[in-house]
Structure 1
Amino acid sequence: MWGVRWVPAQGLLTRATLVLRRWSGRSQVTLTAALVLSVGLLALGIAQQPEWVPPSTFLLIELVAVFLLRLRNIIVLGVAILGCSWWLWWWGAASMIPGILVVITVSVGATIAFARERERLGLQGAPGDLMLVDLRDRLAAHGRVPPLPAGWRVDSEIRSAHADGFSGDFMVAGTRSDENALEIVLVDVSGKGLDAGVRSLQLSGAFGGLLGAMPRDKFLRAANQYLLAQAWDEGFATAIHVALDLRTGDFWVSSAGHPPAVHLHAGSGRLELIDTVGSPALGVVADIRCESRAGRMERGDVLLLYTDGLVEMRGGDLDQGIDRFMGVADRVLAPGRGTAAAVLAGVKAGDDDDRAVVLVHRD
């Protein structure tokens, strides 16, 4: 059956997030008062025992505040830290030299700026961090492949730009009710980082529902209409959709602005580029025409899907990037033991873009 497949840990994480959010919300005044009091005690320690209490301890208080306090309370704490620091300098504390005073002042300003950006994104304190983890796990859950019949397996590897926690590349997969048809869609959302990750989460849930509700030849058109309806400022995405008959090995591939799939024929060792180029990306025009290409996977064959982060090079030609990718795939997968992670590592693409590889094997 179609639908989101949750893991038990996600339920526990959600409950923990709610508990921590409620506790943090009720305790902001208490936490702020305790930290302000700590700042006052630290100021006395710096004045009386400078060899044991250095001024840099104020930075530790700021670090704790970033994890626990909301913007308004961080500002209150920052004012207290600045007031004590400047008072110590005016009073003539030996350890409060001008350079340290400047560092503390700049760090308070940077902390407030960071907290303001988190508040703009709706992430406040420790519960916000847990919410990000929950969002990331939900996105990963949408891409889990259900159990497949003997002789079939799917291997995927998705890595975000600069090792961020969120990627604009995601995969959604599922089987039809009779479990003899597998469908996979690999999507590359415009942008990077948290903003792209949030859009990926929304699209992955919607596309997962469309996979089960729409005929395979209408999926990308329905996905395009959904994306247009969101009216995002940066709202386009490329996608490649594969439908597989797990009894016969027949498959159909269609894409919207996405790099073409590659079919590795085990019998001849030949790599075939499945040309589906022609349709624009999702979210660009109101009506798109996605012509599918049909093929058949024999035993030992591999179908490769990937995103442009593996084949686009700054100042380079896309066709050259695809040729290089196919060369790596040929070398890595020829022994029959290659993995998606090995293909991704072999391409050696830069980490300034999200990257994804999906391998569909028929053993």
Structure 2
Amino acid sequence: MTARPDPDRTARRPRPRVVRRHRLVRRGSRTLALLVVGTAAVTATILVWPTYAPMTMLMVPLLLGSLLLGPRQLPWFVVFVMVMLMLSITRQDPVTPRIVLAITILYLLCFIVLTTSFRRSRLGVAGVQGESMLVDLRDRILSQGGMPPLPENWLAEGALRSAGGTPFAGDFVVAVRPPGSGRLEVVVVDVSGKGEQAGTRALLLSGAFGGLLGALAPVDFLPAANEYLLRQGWEEGFATAAHLSLDLETGAFEIRTAGHPPAAHLDAGSGRWSVHESEGPVLGLIEDAEFGAVSGEMRRGDALMLYTDGLVETPRRDIGLGIDRMLGQADQLLRGVFVGGADRLVDALGSRNDDRALVLVHRR
């Protein structure tokens, strides 16, 4: 006979989310209590030995509080530090212009931390927690750009560089192998803007596009991505994209682009690069947009490149000339050695002030 769970016991069992919240509250309360005790001890030291203990010692707990306390606790702690600073002033004798300037700077720092706490309240987490969340999001977008395991006769690499060397970029790559399909699906996306300005939109779109790419048929991906962007209602909510759907058994491929530079194809037989022009509007601007496909086949030794305009376009150079230069560099840098080729090309091409992304696929 199967035992049934006790409904009263189940109802009394705390939910995991509630337990985590209570733990965070207790941890924050302990941190606040330790900081208050530490600040009081520092203030007592200043009051007892004003000649040897400077008032700037109070900046140590203030800095720790700005890093460790949440947005609800930090304002009250800053006020407490300011009160302790007022007590410390009473022991400063004589009050010289240098002391007055130091007091002014200390109160200015308190005001800056207080203002920061109000801005941080929009996020709802402490400074260290907020930074760890951003790092985690950054790592997730980079991990989605990694290529899935492929058969031994295939090589696929991706490379990404952001404007100014920041960890967040408006360009990103998503690659998946849908289960049971025997295909490789890759999309290279260039979000409007560059660097950190476009990084937040890229973080959101990379997750959404990753889900769409593995769940939809190749012909449906760009229309669905276009509809998703239209629903966001962003003022700068457009993006360009290039989508590759590759059959890993036959080498047959389809390429669709949305306002994106054309893919480049190396024919191993002739040793020449060519471009595959396909038609499609920029994502997020036109409803019910249609995206034409260019078909082809990758034979042994062939290669394909998908890339963003940061590699081929500059204010002083037309995109057509940029593509010619990229193909010339590919002839030199990929001759006989495709492993590591994506990184070599990205480092050799484009502007350091623009985001750059490239995917290289080679059939061995």
TM interval, short-chain normalised = 0.7 to 0.9
- In the alignment, which of 152, 156, 159 is matched to residue 158 of structure 2? 156
The 3 A distance-change label for structure 1 pair 312 and 32 is: farther
The 3 A distance-change label for structure 1 pair 122 and 275 is: farther
Q: Tell me what 2:3 maps to.
A: none
For residues 1-363 of structure 1, the aligned pairs below 5 Å read 22-49=22-49, 53-89=53-89, 91-92=91-92, 97-192=99-194, 196-276=198-278, 278-314=279-315, 316-337=317-338, 338-347=340-349, 349-350=351-352, 352-363=353-364
1:125-174 C-alpha deviation (Å, 9 max, x unpaired): 44333333333343344334322122112111223334444333222222
Moved more, 253-262 or 194-203: 194-203
Matched letter for residue 219 of structure 2: D
SS in 1 for 2:337: coil
Matched letter for residue 121 of structure 1: L
Stretches of structure 1 that go unaligned for 5 or more consecutive residues are: 1-16
Q: In 2, distance between residues paired with 1:315 and 1:22?
A: 58
CA contact (8 A) 1:86 1:101 kept: no
Q: In 2, distance between residues paired with 1:348 and 1:246?
A: 30
Aligned CA RMSD, in angstroms, stands at: 3.1
The 3 A distance-change label for structure 1 pair 113 and 323 is: farther
Matched letter for residue 76 of structure 1: W
Q: In 1, distance between residues paired with 2:20 and 2:59?
A: 24
TM-score (norm 1): 0.81
Shift of 1:282: 0.8
The 3 A distance-change label for structure 1 pair 52 and 247 is: farther
SS in 2 for 1:305: strand
TM-score (norm 2): 0.81
Q: In 1, distance between residues paired with 2:119 and 2:65?
A: 15
Shift of 1:343: 1.5
Identity %, equivalent residues:
41
The 3 A distance-change label for structure 1 pair 264 and 114 is: farther
1:173-210 C-alpha deviation (Å, 9 max, x unpaired): 22244443211111122345667444334333332333
Moved more, 67-76 or 320-329: 320-329
Q: In 2, distance between residues paired with 1:257 and 1:320?
A: 18
CA contact (8 A) 2:314 2:350 kept: no
The 3 A distance-change label for structure 1 pair 112 and 304 is: farther
Q: In 1, distance between residues paired with 2:271 and 2:55?
A: 67
CA contact (8 A) 1:21 1:127 kept: no
Q: In 2, distance between residues paired with 1:51 and 1:360?
A: 70
Q: In 2, distance between residues paired with 1:236 and 1:256?
A: 10
1:228-253 C-alpha deviation (Å, 9 max, x unpaired): 12323432221110011222222221
Q: In 1, distance between residues paired with 2:51 and 2:262?
A: 65
Moved more, 181-190 or 310-319: 310-319
Moved more, 28-37 or 18-27: 18-27
CA contact (8 A) 1:153 1:361 kept: yes
The 3 A distance-change label for structure 1 pair 45 and 300 is: farther
Matched letter for residue 355 of structure 1: R
Matched letter for residue 287 of structure 1: D
The 3 A distance-change label for structure 1 pair 20 and 128 is: farther
Q: Tell me what 2:12 maps to.
A: none
1:229-279 C-alpha deviation (Å, 9 max, x unpaired): 232343222111001122222222111112222223344432222223x42
Matched letter for residue 132 of structure 2: L
Q: Tell me what 1:3 maps to.
A: none
SS in 2 for 1:97: helix
1:68-115 C-alpha deviation (Å, 9 max, x unpaired): 112232222222333333543454268973443343333323323333
Stretches of structure 2 that go unaligned for 5 or more consecutive residues are: 1-16
The 3 A distance-change label for structure 1 pair 84 and 93 is: farther
Matched letter for residue 320 of structure 2: D
The structure whose Rg is larger is 2
The 3 A distance-change label for structure 1 pair 163 and 100 is: farther
Q: In 2, distance between residues paired with 1:329 and 1:52?
A: 67
CA contact (8 A) 2:308 2:356 kept: yes
